[in-house]
Chains A and B, each alone.
Chain A
Amino acid sequence: MLLKSVRKRWQGWVNRRIPRSDTQQFVQNNIFILPTGVGVVFGLLLVVMLLTGINYQNSLIYLMTFILGVVFVAAMHQTHRNLSGLQLTLVQTGEGYAGDKIPFVFRGTRSKEATLALELRYHDQVLAQQHIQPGESQDMTLLARSSLRGYLVMDRVRVETRFPFGLLKAWSWIRPATAAVVYPRPLLPPESPIAEGDDGEADARTTSDGQDHVDIRPWRQGDLSQRVLWKRYARTGDMVIAEWSGQQGSPDWLDYDAFPGVEQELRLSYLTALVQQKLGADEAFGLKLPGEFIAPDTGPAHGARCLRALAVFGQHDPADQGAGHRGAMS
């Protein structure tokens, strides 16, 4: 009980010391250093050596004890310096489905001295023996296990080194602010509305007779080239875009409301599975969520956009929230 509260206080203190940021420069006031178990045994060995020196009145044993004692102190500085001056930045967050391991790419940079044998640890994920040479940078990918869809923020990544002698460990944390996006776990709906549509059955929402409902508008920068009506361009010289205006677009619309009575997360899982299916078949599709429409299209970028929309549906990016709130998150 007491231990728990002490731990909580300690954690709060550490979190205040290490604010959420994608970039962390490790310096004196955020590096912690303690002897390892090996270091403690080494200290005991020094005591035994000193006793031997005293009892046998042996100057050379005194000398060696002092040398090794000073090595220990020097190792403290070495270990500290190995970490201090390192800049670690979260440069890329990966994406994946709930339950997957989501990659987070960190870039370590050093200007003058090297950082050797660095270890990044996030829960049970360990990335050991990372060496960063002076003036160079090194990308390191940590995987974070995800369980729910939505934004995934790493709470604390432990950054540790025991170099050079393993007698001491210097460690700190980076608490990245940027979240990865975790797509809902795909789950095929029991009766796929797409399957019905493919059968040509008259479903009000998924009629394939879509050409009549196309809105034509002039080309704007950013429009995808495959949506340009090239035939018309060839005929008239006008670059126009076909915009599928409504629910009865010719490509399938994947609709949040197509699963009445189904719980929200399940719906999102269904939709995710359907998006996957569409992507696999390379068919054009659009996504309709309450408050969000994504126009029909094909291709991986479109797919990612849809998946992302499904992932963060109803959630706020934690990076947009205030610092105080963030501090409480982990």
Chain B
Amino acid sequence: MKLAQRSNPVSSSGTPIPASALLWLIAAFFILLLPQWDRLPPWLLGACGLLAGWRWLVQSGRVGLPGRWLRLTVMALLIATYIVTVEGRFTVDTAASFFVIAVGLKWLETRTSRDFYVLFFILVYLATVNFLFEQGIFWTLLNLVGVALLLLGIQVLNAPGAPHVLAAGWRRLGGMFLKSLPIVLLLFLFFPRLEPLWSVPLVSDRGQTGISDTMSPGDISNLAQSSERAFRVTFADGLPPNRELYWRGLILDRFDGTTWRQWDTERPTRPGRVSVDSGLEELQDNEYDVLMDPSGQRWAFALADSRAVSENLEEERWGLFRFKRPADTPVRYRLSRDTATLLNAGLSPAFRRRFLQLPAQGNPRARALASELRATSSSDRELVARLLTRFREQPYFYTLRPPLMPDDGIDTLLFDERRGFCEHYAGATTFVLRSAGIPARVVAGYQGGDPGANNEYLIVRQYDAHAWVEAWLPGSGWTRVDPTAAIAPDRIESGLREAVADEGSFLEEDWTSPQRYGDQALIRWASLQVDRLNYQWQRWVVGYQGQSQLDLMSRLPGNIGMKELGYFSAGLVAFGLLVAGLVSAWKQRGILTRDPYLRVVAQWRQLLERSGLEAPTTATPSQLADSAEARWPALRGTARAFARMVNSHYYGASAGSVEPAQRKADLARLKRILGVNRRILRKAR
């Protein structure tokens, strides 16, 4: 039986690969490598280029595919290089590298269309993996283009000799995409977003720039060299003035003489995914919505006196917020600003001791300054004010190029160099306050931010990183004290660019950053538009997860939960299939009746059936003529002529190449004969 006959000498699995199909596959490979370019080691990218190029040369017949031993050698070489460079780290990046090596090696054994399909599958999954790392709208488009090229290559593989296979292939893909877009969108909206089925941390060893949990002199000024985005914020009621935007991230309260650290070390987290979605509900009056880029850390940045609104935040002591897991992907969260001040419940003795902690030794001049301030001030508040006045009135400088101050750094800063960045002044201020007996702590985070396009939202970048001080003042509790505001008010009012404009040190090492050229209107405008596009994309598409889905569903009538969503998606798929089936059935009908000859033949058949003759669809025109003539001798001649015309139309030597005009005339004649037959039959009845 033919059904069982599977093995075939020329089956599709054994055919060689047409060159153009291979070319598209290679093109797709390089496009899909692009999103990985800064993640993959350069030697691997080079090796992939060589391997794919080798395969291409094989196609053009200039070299042969490597034999088994050469292939094994190349494989061993690549894997050895991989092992040496990876050094035993197991992260998503190294896994991705290994995956790419596998793809590269596969080029050397791509002989038949079966191998082609294997590569197709691997590359589709490579596109999937790319989405783990890059989710911007342009990267997404690039990935989709890569997949489209793959689908094109597959079409070429399946019909290499078809005329205009490329143009037709593109057209087919485009048509498919447009027609299926509604279903894709509905599925995207309604397919239930399940909780992760098992824990899969996205461990990346790529150094993520951002605030860290320690602060030494120079840390933040290094960070200020980066224009990478930290987070973006939409406020319900317009952008607040810059000076209010103190984004608190973490509190550094233990000082060892050079470095500020957190007293409580971070609790280890079990592997798992951070919840990235804060929902779609409209922002209430004093709410704001933060979309944070991946930081690899658990802390969330919030304005003072905020309350968590979205459920992916955990509120901690002193108005800090944490995620349940490190943010290895973009995370959206939502907070509300509380106008009420913090409760002044007082500071427990244990905490008072903690916030007065200082190393036993070092910085004697700063300690002396503290005693002097203490002696001349009647209250803590006055002491703080005097310290700030000192910063404001004496020649202290705010600079991105602070000198190195290795020994007794605080003394050197306060009394000798007088040049520093925010972390220097924040550390020194805390030190002085503590030695004067005022509980104080360093707060690390960001300050300010640039407005996005049309002032719709705020973009906070790494160069907005900031450190300031909070002091415990009787009667008002923890109070913000920012020495930088006293030294360089520009920094707080309008940002780092203005503050260091004279120095010219803004982003001096970052040549490619559009922010560096922020004073040029066109570049600024373009980069803001691109950012806005990506922001909306990130918020509404990338960030569309469980909470957003539930919020959206809660706006629809009915009580829609996960289960209903599942049913709905299944129904949607069924509905889509049904519609497509109906459309194609309708088209089918079109095909059958579009052929006027077939229609006339069908009429003839109907006529005979009505007259009482069995005229099965399987009977040929000649057979019909035979039986009709046998039944009604009056039809002799005309029935036969009808059959002859039909036959010559379909099976004649010139069938298919008849001029349209001739065809029309033939058809008219055929109809006339049918009319004659009808009249004869009417008479015969």
Contact = CB atoms under 8 A, between A and B. Distances in A.
Please indicate whether A and B come from the same complex rather than being unrelated chains.
yes
B329 A56 contact: yes
A193 to B, nearest CB: 41
A28 B586 CA distance: 11
B197 A55 contact: yes
Contacts of A165: 151, 154-155, 158
Interface in B116-161: 117, 121, 124-125, 127-128, 131-132, 135, 140, 143-144, 147, 151, 154-155, 157-161
Interface in A43-76: 45, 48-49, 51-64, 66-71, 73-74
B416 interface: no
A217 interface: no
Contacts of A128: 10
Given A163-B159, A166-B12, A89 B650 contact: yes
B184 interface: yes
A137 B128 contact: no
Contacts of A123: 2, 5
B681 to A, nearest CB: 25
Contacts of B127: 64
B180 A166 contact: no
A286 B143 CA distance: 77
A111 B594 contact: yes
Contacts, number: 199
Interface stretch (A18-26, A227-235, A256-264, A300-308): A18-26
Contacts of A192: none
B49 to A, nearest CB: 25
B140 A60 contact: yes
A136 interface: yes
Contacts of A109: 650, 655-656
Nearest to A58: B131
A162 interface: yes
A58 B651 contact: no
Interface string A240-261: 0000000000000000000000
B614 to A, nearest CB: 11
B169 A164 contact: yes
A66 B158 contact: no
A73 B10 contact: no
Contacts of B161: 129, 131
A107 interface: yes
Contacts of A71: 151, 176, 180
B350 interface: no
A23 B650 contact: yes
A314 B273 CA distance: 82
Interface string A76-98: 01101100110001010000000
Contacts of A136: 656
Contact of B202 (A25, A56, A77): A56
Interface of B: 1-5, 8-10, 12, 113, 117, 121, 124-125, 127-128, 131-132, 135, 140, 143-144, 147, 151, 154-155, 157-163, 169, 172, 176-177, 179-180, 183-184, 187-188, 191, 193-194, 196-198, 200, 202, 273, 275-277, 329, 541-546, 576-577, 580, 584-585, 587-588, 590-592, 594-595, 616, 618, 620, 650-651, 655-656
